[in-house]
Structure formats: C-alpha cells, structure tokens
C-alpha cells in the first residue's frame, strides 16, 4: 500500500511538471519580457513547495563523528543550517565574515559546545588557509564529511547603472563563484580522507534563468553550476559527491522578491502593472 502511495505521489508531481513545461510556451506568447520570467519563477516556487510537501521518503544520514564546514553563517541560510545540523548531532564549523556579529554570537549562545565559529572571508586566500588549519586542529575524533559553500552576495543593478564600472560584477564573481573554488580546493585533501563525503554548493534559480537587473548575480551563479558539474566528474573517483542546492527564499529574506520586482519595474516601466500583480500573488501565496 505504501509503495502505491509513493508511486501516486511521484506520478502526480511528474504530471504537474509536464503541465508546467507545456504551459511555458503559451505563457511566453501572452507575456513579454519580465512578466514571463516572473510567472516562471512563481510556478517554479509552487512546484518545489509541492514536491517538498509530498516527498517524505528521504534517507536519514547518521551524524556520528561527522563534521561539516559551512560558509556565510552570519545570517540567512548559513546561520539556520548551522543551527539545524547542530541540533541533529553534527559537529559544525560555522564560518562567518565577522565572528563578533550578532548571528555568530547567537550561534555560540544557543547551540551546543560542538559548534565552533571561525572567521572566513572567502575572497581572501589567507583566511581560507587559516580556516583549513583551524578545522584540521579541531576535528579531534571526527572526520570532515562535508563543506557547504553558502557564502554569497546579491546586488540588484541593471548593467548600465552605477558608477563603479564593472566592479560589482568582479565583486559578485569573487564572492559567489571564486569563493566556492577557493574553499573547495583548500578542503579537498581533508574530504578525500572521509568515505562518501560531499561538497554542497549553494546556487540559485538565477543560475538557470537570467532576469533583468541581476545580470552580475546571474553570471556568478551560472559559473557555480558549471564549476559544480565539472567538479562532480573530477572527484567521484575519490568517493566525493557534489550537490547543488537552489534555494528560493526564507522568511528572513523577504527583501529578495521585493527587490527583484522593484528592479524589474525600473527596467520595464510599461509592464509595471503586470509586475505588481505578480508580486502581490507571489507574496500572498508565500504568506498563506
């Protein structure tokens, strides 16, 4: 009976996915420019939520003697993930841009003694080297089982705007893309010592669909996807898995969809009514 239920759930999700794909061409005919991308984004969010709701057949990973390094734990996903993994019994190395930040101090005050906070700016080679030494010296009887490349920044800016030339593009590539490369290269020797270890790279839907106003961010996330796919083929011989995560947003990051739509309206003022209606629909559905 349970197998039949699982088959039914997966069939239903697959069917909705097919409907979504078949409807995209029709949507593109009805809407132009940013309106089309906003609809696709909203539909993708809803399909992901549906899959997460019904996909309960998830294999649990034992936390015994497993250590995990997470970058970008000052706020957002990194901070929340550090809390969750600590509560599951993992040894967590929560790297923060500022170890004295409120988020870092909250982790120290609320999590177990297993969790350790360390300073790490993923754009600085010296910081990365010191992070490797810190983790190696504090593993004790644990093994480094995973790294989560979560650190990232997001700027909303049309290509022609701004007085900094291409500095914003360079900055986002350095943090979002090259930061993952630096951290991964540095920690690979430790990961090779652990059986069935994994590298988790946080990407974005922007790594698949480039939208107006976030060209520099989209470039950096497309690069993450290319890096991850190449890396996966290189390290599988060492029994290392490479996983790409595409989060949508969290309740603590409500500013992101608002900023996306603000940028879209600025770039496509004639479609402002369409964008506003889509924005209202997405926000209300997320709050319900």
The residues carrying an active-site annotation are 217
Residue recorded with tokens 């490479």:
242
Characterise 105 by phi-psi region: left (phi > 0), alpha (psi -120 to 50), beta (else): alpha
- Do 243 and 148 touch, CB atoms closer than 8 A? no
Whole-number Å distance between alpha carbons of 65 and 69: 13
């Amino acid at each position: 009976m349970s197998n039949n239920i699982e088959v039914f759930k997966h069939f239903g999700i697959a069917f909705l996915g097919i409907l979504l794909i078949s409807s995209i061409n029709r949507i593109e005919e009805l809407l132009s420019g940013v309106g089309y991308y906003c609809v696709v984004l909203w539909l993708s969010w809803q399909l992901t939520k549906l899959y997460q709701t019904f996909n309960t057949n998830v294999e649990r990973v034992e936390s015994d003697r497993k250590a995990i390094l997470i970058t970008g734990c000052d706020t957002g996903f990194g901070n929340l993930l550090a809390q969750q993994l600590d509560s599951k019994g993992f040894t967590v190395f929560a790297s923060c841009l500022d170890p004295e930040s409120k988020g870092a101090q909250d982790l120290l005050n609320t999590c177990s003694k297993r969790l350790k906070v360390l300073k790490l700016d993923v754009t600085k080679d010296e910081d990365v080297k010191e992070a490797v030494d810190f983790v190696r010296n504090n593993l004790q009887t644990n093994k480094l089982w995973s790294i989560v490349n979560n650190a990232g920044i997001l700027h909303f800016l049309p290509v022609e705007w701004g007085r900094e030339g291409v500095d914003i593009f360079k900055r986002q590539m350095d943090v979002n893309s090259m930061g993952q490369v630096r951290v991964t290269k540095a920690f690979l020797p430790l990961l090779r010592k652990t059986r069935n270890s994994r590298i988790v790279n946080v990407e974005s839907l922007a790594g698949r669909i480039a939208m107006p106003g976030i060209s520099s961010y989209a470039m950096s996330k497309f690069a993450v996807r290319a890096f991850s796919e190449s890396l996966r083929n290189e390290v599988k011989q060492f029994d290392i898995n490479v996983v790409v995560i595409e989060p949508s947003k969290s309740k603590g990051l409500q500013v992101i969809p608002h900023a996306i739509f603000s940028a879209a309206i600025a770039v496509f003022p004639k479609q402002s009514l369409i964008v506003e209606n889509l924005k209202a629909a997405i926000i209300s559905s997320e709050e319900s």
